[in-house]
Structure 1
Amino acid sequence: MRKKKRGMTMVASSVLAMSLLSFSTSTHTSAKTQTVSKNYLIAYNQSLPKDYQTEVKNAGGVVVRAIPELGALEVKSSNPNFLDKLNSTSVVAANVEKSFKLENGNPEGADGQPVALTPDPDGTYWSSQWDIQHLTNGGKSYAIESGGTKTTTGVKHKAVVGIIDSGIDAGHPDLKANFMGGENFVPAGGYYGDVPEEKGNTSNVTDTNGHGTHVAGSIAGNGKVKGVGPDLGIRAYRIFDASGSAPTGPIVDAIVQAANDGVDVINMSIGGFDSLKYYYEGTRYSDVADVLLWKRAVQYAVKKNVTVVASAGNDSLNYADKKALTDYMNESYGYLGIKYSGVTIEVPGSTPGVINVSSSNEWSTNKLAFYSNYGNGFIDVAAPGGDNGPVYDATLDLNQRNFTYRALSTWPRYLDAYFTMQKNDGYAYLHGTSMAAPKVAGIAGVIKAAHPDYTPSQVEALIEKSALDYGKKGHDELYGSGEANAYTALTSK
């Protein structure tokens, strides 16, 4: 959907957890009329009023989702004047709901050669996991803290990571010992009623995309591949439907649910942009309610003693350059008839209380992966998300892409092989800040396992204090406090 060549190159070479702006609408056509329904996010002052159902109905809307912990509603309405007619003195902000979109890499075109994995003598792929080897000092951190302890009946998890994503292949041999259930937030028919394979089963967290399973392996894989904490518990909160879409409402709802379930860490390998002022078909809009509800959701989790981690995004943008962000939005989405003129805010990475992660690579301590967003005051730490290797970085020649510089992790066994692989045996090479964030979530998990009394601020402080000081000395725009590392965090004094 992007027009920029840089963006299209990225889409063709990776799985991206990036938000494409789209209004959450559905169109119903009859012989006489055409009705367009829009989804709205509504943030109330403190809590939901007792008569919110009546207020919404009188304005011509239907409540899709209520999140009382956040004083929030997700509403669908075909009334173009819905927001004007919503008669409530306690509404703080309301806006047309944004939609996030997972973009899958396109296997067509000039690509590097797909990888055929060769097992090590012990039957694992440990020698292919440059990123996890680096993070754990060759596996030495496991002897200090793996996230749990073995018992006669399985694993006793000392900390749990909630993965808000596309679901998990719960039966994957590298994940099943650590899988602890979860919840599906996708309604029957998907979010816009056009995904028939979605049945609305709240307990079905089966990954239809692959993204969430890959993230899970980086956190708690324990088989042919290892995660940062191979004995950490993992819970799946499925928010992307089979088409790869997810509005903001179910995402912030999942944050609340994960916090209520008592997870220790939340990983969100998702990200996108909100704008405080933009125009669509001559009408002014603002994403104030969206930004506010992200803040409330993260604050709710932090108050429940949950450390929240997110990916910084894959647009090669300097977040500190506000004009460049607005220009990027106009270049990317202007063809949809949208004009941006206000401040652009990245969510959830820049939301207060979130550890925001950029993507480092295997071959450089001075350059981030080519796609990673960056910026002073924006990046907290970096982590290995992989790229296409130094030759591609120097030439940008797609034929020179070496997929082994990406991150190897678990892949759903029932999906087609990802295009980096010759066949699907349950593993795939992916890259992106989506692959960097779960490394930090895994580090946060083993820190909590080792120090169960630590608060989210203490967990973040230890991650930053023990990070490897790559790039410019001290805090910088690329790596933040440095590249996070599990071994140095667990041995830090």
Structure 2
Amino acid sequence: MQSTTASTPHFPRASAALMAVLLAACCLCAGLFTAPAASADDWRDKEYWLADSGITKAWEVSKGAGVKVAVIDSGIDAQHPDLKGAVTGGYDASGSGDPNGQKSVGSKPEHGTLVATMLAGRGHQPAGASPSAGPAATPPDGIIGVAPEAQLLSVSTWLGSPNPSGKSDQDQIPEAVRWAVDNGARVINISLGSTTPQWPQSWDAAFLYAEQKDVVIVAAAGNRIGGNTQVGAPATIPGVLTVAGVDRKNVASVDASSQGISIGVAAPAENLVGGLPGGGYAEWAGTSGSTPIVAGVAALIRSKWPDMSAEQVINRIITTARDAGAPGKDPLYGYGILNAEAALKADVPEVSVNPLGTIAEWIRVHRRGNAVPATPVPSATPVASAAPTLPEATVPAAKAPSQRDSAIGAAVVIGFAALFLAIIAAAAVQLRRAAGDPLAPGEEPETGATERVNPHRKPHVTDGRTG
């Protein structure tokens, strides 16, 4: 993604094209490894984060029932065995997929299904079993997501290669966000990113819309191996819960994570497993996988406390995180490593504002101080695309000087020049007098000068000769 500035609301065409490539090239999938054939139980057994991050303990409180989570990605294969019944709607923001958003598109078509299974996979339920069966029941085969009772909305985007429809990320991302909000998403998962912290102004209105509609947005920090040494947009947008990655030892991942001041929390990013379109499975790595783990926990919280505000949900996640790295918030772990059990069970003080900032305030300060627009009114039909929040900024032209100003300026210059010449001439006369030089022809003594006369000195007489 190419950068934009506060005073540049639109990108050049070449920059927009490069942004689209990088968004998917940094799809934050540090590695995708299709392992040898194995039973579904073997794949489920590899989900170490369910216990290590306190998720199985959090299930004692909530499994995400009644919460819609939108996955803005490359599309979800809703027919995957572990996702049957999980995907309840969708939309194609790319213009090149199926209208329901469930066709895998873009340069990494498998990406959305990997994310979806980690977030809300339900596994292969044995005959007669229910997805809401208690922990004492026999675990199902396949991938179990963090919020296995949540509902998924698949919002497909085409990124990383030329889009047949011609729609760029500048159109797809805001359109996807607004559709998700208008269709009931309480949490939005964005496992996509870029190599620049800046975002186009065309995104402002959509992210502001989500903020004003009390939606939690969770985004991936990016991976060093994918070129993201620093967190890139949209994970740099104020108010977004940005997720970094750690390895099996809870140390910041060297390859499968990045760093930046916008990071809110860290979660597992290595040795991950997920489902592939067509019913397969794969091992992978990256903050693309860390993000649905955290988004899933947000869904658990919103299910437990349906009236809890987005800022309270985010505050609960970061406040209960286990501190890591430098004491307090730092650019590698944010506020710490995810602790899902504490996020669902701990007493957390309420906050009145989002601890990660607000896009409304950022727009007010950085988009040339223009007023933040009022909350958009939802339409009966999906909004095709979010319009730029603000008009193109203009800079007033400098006022040309008047003729009077020019005349005054010239007179001042001439006056100073005359004064300077007079000072030089007077100084020259004084120097000659000090050296004993006679006055030059036509020169006169200075006005007011007196001659000292020695009364005892005889007059000097000349003989008329030169001398």
Counterpart pick for 2:269 among 375, 385, 392: 385
Counterpart pick for 1:251 among 173, 179, 193: 173
The residue that corresponds to 1:349 in the other structure is 235
Q: CA deviation at 1:316?
A: 6.4
Q: CA deviation at 1:437?
A: 1.1
Indicate the SS of the match to 2:283. Answer: strand
1:78-130 alpha-carbon deviations (Å, 9 max, x no partner):
xxxxxxxxxxxxx983322523232399xxxxx9996335447xx46332111
Where does 1:91-490 land on structure 2 (aligned, <5 Å)?
A: 93-96=9-12, 98=16, 99-101=19-21, 102-103=24-25, 115-116=35-36, 118-119=38-39, 123=41, 125-137=43-55, 139-148=56-65, 158-187=66-95, 198=96, 201-208=98-105, 209-223=109-123, 224-240=142-158, 243=161, 247-274=169-196, 290-315=199-224, 346-362=232-248, 364-375=249-260, 377-386=261-270, 406-413=271-278, 426-490=280-344
Contact 1:318–1:373 (CA under 8 A) maintained in structure 2: no
Indicate the SS of the match to 2:11. Answer: strand
Unaligned runs of 5+ in 2: 124-141, 348-467
The residue that corresponds to 1:79 in the other structure is none
Provide the C-alpha distance between the structure 1 equivalents of 2:243 and 2:280, rounded to a whole number of angstroms.
Answer: 26
Provide the C-alpha distance between the structure 1 equivalents of 2:196 and 2:273, rounded to a whole number of angstroms.
Answer: 32
Provide the C-alpha distance between the structure 1 equivalents of 2:32 and 2:122, rounded to a whole number of angstroms.
Answer: 29
Flag the 1:240–1:372 CA change in 2: closer, same or farther, 3 A: same
Counterpart amino acid of residue 36 in structure 2: A
Provide the C-alpha distance between the structure 2 equivalents of 1:244 and 1:428, rounded to a whole number of angstroms.
Answer: 26
Counterpart amino acid of residue 474 in structure 1: G
Counterpart amino acid of residue 294 in structure 1: W
1:378-434 alpha-carbon deviations (Å, 9 max, x no partner):
211111111xxxxxxxxxxxxxxxxxxx21111111xxxxxxxxxxx5211111111
Provide the C-alpha distance between the structure 2 equivalents of 1:271 and 1:94, rounded to a whole number of angstroms.
Answer: 19
Provide the C-alpha distance between the structure 2 equivalents of 1:141 and 1:477, rounded to a whole number of angstroms.
Answer: 27
Provide the C-alpha distance between the structure 2 equivalents of 1:206 and 1:159, rounded to a whole number of angstroms.
Answer: 23
Alignment: residue pair count:
312
Unaligned runs of 5+ in 1: 1-18, 23-40, 44-90, 106-110, 149-157, 188-197, 276-286, 326-344, 387-405, 414-424
1:23-60 alpha-carbon deviations (Å, 9 max, x no partner):
xxxxxxxxxxxxxxxxxx9x9xxxxxxxxxxxxxxxxx
Counterpart amino acid of residue 382 in structure 1: A
Contact 1:411–1:427 (CA under 8 A) maintained in structure 2: yes
Counterpart amino acid of residue 158 in structure 2: F
Contact 1:311–1:358 (CA under 8 A) maintained in structure 2: yes
Provide the C-alpha distance between the structure 1 equivalents of 2:280 and 2:75, rounded to a whole number of angstroms.
Answer: 15
Flag the 1:222–1:244 CA change in 2: closer, same or farther, 3 A: farther
Indicate the SS of the match to 2:171. Answer: helix
From the two aligned structures, give the one with the greater strand fraction.
1
Q: CA deviation at 1:444?
A: 0.7
Flag the 1:175–1:242 CA change in 2: closer, same or farther, 3 A: farther
Provide the C-alpha distance between the structure 2 equivalents of 1:482 and 1:244, rounded to a whole number of angstroms.
Answer: 38
Contact 2:320–2:338 (CA under 8 A) maintained in structure 1: yes
TM-score of the pair, normalised by structure 1: 0.58
Q: Indicate the percent of aligned positions where both proteins have the same amino acid.
A: 30
Contact 2:266–2:290 (CA under 8 A) maintained in structure 1: yes
Q: CA deviation at 1:132?
A: 2.6
1:138-189 alpha-carbon deviations (Å, 9 max, x no partner):
x2322311011xxxxxxxxx111100000000111111211111001222xx
The residue that corresponds to 1:153 in the other structure is none
Contact 1:314–1:372 (CA under 8 A) maintained in structure 2: yes
The residue that corresponds to 1:8 in the other structure is none
1:295-351 alpha-carbon deviations (Å, 9 max, x no partner):
3321210111100011111136999xxxx87xxxxxxxxxxxxxxxxxxx8310110
Indicate the SS of the match to 2:251. Answer: coil
Counterpart amino acid of residue 255 in structure 2: F
Provide the C-alpha distance between the structure 1 equivalents of 2:243 and 2:256, rounded to a whole number of angstroms.
Answer: 13
Indicate the SS of the match to 1:182. Answer: strand
Flag the 1:113–1:408 CA change in 2: closer, same or farther, 3 A: closer
Provide the C-alpha distance between the structure 2 equivalents of 1:258 and 1:228, rounded to a whole number of angstroms.
Answer: 20
Contact 1:365–1:471 (CA under 8 A) maintained in structure 2: no
Provide the C-alpha distance between the structure 1 equivalents of 2:113 and 2:309, rounded to a whole number of angstroms.
Answer: 27
Counterpart amino acid of residue 351 in structure 1: I
Contact 1:317–1:372 (CA under 8 A) maintained in structure 2: no
Provide the C-alpha distance between the structure 2 equivalents of 1:485 and 1:229, rounded to a whole number of angstroms.
Answer: 15
1:343-375 alpha-carbon deviations (Å, 9 max, x no partner):
xx831011011111111111x233334241113
Contact 1:291–1:347 (CA under 8 A) maintained in structure 2: no
Counterpart amino acid of residue 412 in structure 1: P
Indicate the SS of the match to 1:348. Answer: coil
Contact 2:87–2:153 (CA under 8 A) maintained in structure 1: yes
Where does 1:16-35 land on structure 2 (aligned, <5 Å)?
A: 19=1, 21=2
Provide the C-alpha distance between the structure 2 equivalents of 1:218 and 1:408, rounded to a whole number of angstroms.
Answer: 8
Indicate the SS of the match to 2:326. Answer: coil
Counterpart amino acid of residue 319 in structure 2: K
TM-score of the pair, normalised by structure 2: 0.61
Flag the 1:173–1:315 CA change in 2: closer, same or farther, 3 A: same
Q: CA deviation at 1:266?
A: 0.5
